[in-house]
Amino acid sequence: MTHTTLAGAPFVATQNNDLYLEGVKLADLAHAHGTPLFVYSKAAMLSALAAYQRGFTGRNARICYAMKANSSLAVLQVFAQAGCGFDIVSGGELDRVIAAGGDASKVIFSGVGKTRAEMRKALDAGIACFNVESEAELEVLSDVAQSMGKRAPISIRVNPNVDAKTHPYISTGLKGNKFGVAHERALATYQRAASLPGLQVTGIDCHIGSQITESTPYLDAMDRVLDLVQAIEAAGIAIHHIDFGGGLGINYNGDTPPAADELWTQLLAKLDARGYGQRQLMIEPGRSLVGNAGVCLTEVLYLKPGEQKNFCIVDAAMNDLPRPAMYEAFHQIVPVSARVGEAVMYDVVGPVCESGDWLGRDRQLAVQSGDLLAVLSTGAYCVAMSSNYNTRGRAAEILVDGDKAHVIRRRETVADQMACESLVR
């Protein structure tokens, strides 16, 4: 028996030319549940979390999973049972945390456009903190909290103007981004927050982007945030916790991000050197906990040769896997069962009526119609961003735990999609 682990997907391996996730043969899942099909490894999620937990050994730290990466209830359940808090960006996400058994008192509410209704829901639930992203939001949140006879715990998300060196659509810490309060306005904004009767200042927050693969942007952002902490506390406003956000990248295509524990060894050394090592720390990892835990299985429908391009047309599409269409993102694509034969260069494309509906360009594959392919590293920002474009149902999801496979979301039907619609009579 041959056993080879795939690069970038540590819990996906080939055994006798067949692809397995943990102890489960992926072809068997595709045949039993149909395609497209998302399959996640519980062990991969917990292994990624363990790297952060090792990095924070002996520290007063809380890991809040950024659930926008993958908000499926069973995924949230895995992290809730592991003791995580959650970073949310909507009232609906708060409902999901509670439904999955999460603790509302460990929830951080981020996002630039919180509504009054969402603020009230979060205050009623007793969340840990609001990450406020504008001066206008301070006024509204104070007003809402006062009307409820409460004080809202807040930190202010500061935009440190640090280049995360990532795709511009997922960079969040530059002056031209919509997120956070400008570094130059931070002290004045904290002074205003401290004066508002419905607010209680508890911390400071910073998030510079996503899919970051270098340590330097984090180190630069930490210096700028700690400079602000010093200035804010000198003005008489206590900062009880420091939230450094998330954004650590994963290996999609030979990417080499630092391991979470190695990154935090560097960051904590800087924190200690500047005298802030005993503060409560919060972080909000998302992609780095779930990205490499997932695969998407898809069937080859047709092979279409052309003068300039050969197309491998599969049943997964941009509505299932939006990242390539949105970011020109790369995902490895490999056969679920290896086939002997000459590999041909294909663009792997879906059936949606858009030229942007592609999953991979210029891939060498030995395939025939009816074969199964696995799109790797699809645990983050795939199902969470999926849609019903072309009246396509969302894919089913499976959680693998050792040699057991649990259906955690059934395949969506057309009836499900139309359930909220009605004809005019």
Question: Looking at the structure, do residues 26 and 175 belong to the same domain, yes or no?
Answer: no
pLDDT tops 90 at residue 191: yes
Q: Is 247 annotated as a binding residue?
A: yes
- What burial letters (b/e) apply to 178-203, b meaning 16+ CB within 10 Å? ebbbebebbbebbebbbebebbbbbb
Question: Looking at the structure, do residues 114 and 228 belong to the same domain, yes or no?
Answer: yes
Between 49-53, 110-114, 219-223, the lowest mean confidence (pLDDT) is in 219-223
Q: Model confidence over 139-166: pLDDT tens digits?
A: 999 999 999 999 999 999 998 877 555 4
Q: What percent of the chain has pLDDT over 70?
A: 94
Beta bridge mates, 5? 13
Do the domain assignments include residue 423? no
Query: Tell me, what's the pLDDT at 5?
Result: 57
Question: Looking at the structure, do residues 222 and 326 belong to the same domain, yes or no?
Answer: no
Tokens of 265: 């060894």
Cis peptide before 257 (omega within 30 of 0): no
Q: Is 323 annotated as a binding residue?
A: yes
Question: Looking at the structure, do residues 235 and 363 belong to the same domain, yes or no?
Answer: no
Instruction: Read off the pLDDT band of 22 (50, 70, 90).
Output: very high
pLDDT tops 90 at residue 183: no
Do the domain assignments include residue 270? yes
Domain that holds residue 390: 3-41+291-418
Average pLDDT along the chain = 93
Enter the pTM of the model.
0.94
Query: Tell me, what's the pLDDT at 15?
Result: 85
Neighbours of 5 (CB within 10 A): 11
Q: How many Cα neighbours within 13 Å face the side chain of 1?
A: 6
Q: Is 284 annotated as a binding residue?
A: yes
pLDDT tops 50 at residue 170: no
Question: Looking at the structure, do residues 167 and 310 belong to the same domain, yes or no?
Answer: no
Q: Measured on CA atoms in the order 228, 231, 236, 238, is the torsion positive or negative?
A: positive
pLDDT tops 60 at residue 335: yes
pLDDT tops 80 at residue 9: no
Question: Looking at the structure, do residues 168 and 267 belong to the same domain, yes or no?
Answer: yes
Do the domain assignments include residue 164? yes
Question: Looking at the structure, do residues 265 and 183 belong to the same domain, yes or no?
Answer: yes
pLDDT tops 70 at residue 48: yes
Q: With contact defined as beta carbons under 8 Å apart, do 232 and 195 qualify?
A: no
The DSSP secondary-structure symbol of 159 reads: E
Query: Tell me, what's the pLDDT at 399?
Result: 98
Query: Tell me, what's the pLDDT at 177?
Result: 60
Do the domain assignments include residue 169? yes
User: CA nearest 393: which of 327, 325, 316?
Assistant: 316
206 is catalytic: no
How many structural domains comprise the chain?
Answer: 2
Q: Is 286 annotated as a binding residue?
A: yes
Q: Model confidence over 232-257: pLDDT tens digits?
A: 999 999 999 999 999 899 999 888 99
Q: Is 327 annotated as a binding residue?
A: yes
What are φ and ψ of residue 25, in 5° steps? -75, 120
Query: Tell me, what's the pLDDT at 307?
Result: 86
Instruction: Read off the pLDDT band of 171 (50, 70, 90).
Output: very low
Q: Model confidence over 52-95: pLDDT tens digits?
A: 999 999 999 999 999 999 999 999 999 999 999 999 999 999 99
pLDDT tops 90 at residue 8: no
pLDDT tops 50 at residue 425: yes
Q: Model confidence over 112-142: pLDDT tens digits?
A: 999 999 999 999 999 999 999 999 999 999 9
Looking at 222, 252, 285, which one is the last position of a domain?
A: 285
pLDDT tops 50 at residue 265: yes
- E strands within 17-82? 18-21, 24-25, 37-41, 61-66
Do the domain assignments include residue 53? no
Query: Tell me, what's the pLDDT at 209?
Result: 80
Instruction: Read off the pLDDT band of 176 (50, 70, 90).
Output: low
Instruction: Quote the crossing angle between the two packed helices 186-195 and 216-234, to the nearest 10°.
Output: 50
Q: Which of 84, 353, 382, 420 is catalytic?
A: 353
Tokens of 269: 């050394």
Query: Tell me, what's the pLDDT at 178?
Result: 58
Question: Looking at the structure, do residues 281 and 298 belong to the same domain, yes or no?
Answer: no
Tokens of 3: 């056993």
Looking at 285, 302, 335, which one is the last position of a domain?
A: 285
pLDDT tops 90 at residue 302: yes
Give the CATH number, domain containing residue 218. Answer: 3.20.20.10
Looking at 285, 312, 331, which one is the last position of a domain?
A: 285
Query: Tell me, what's the pLDDT at 2?
Result: 46
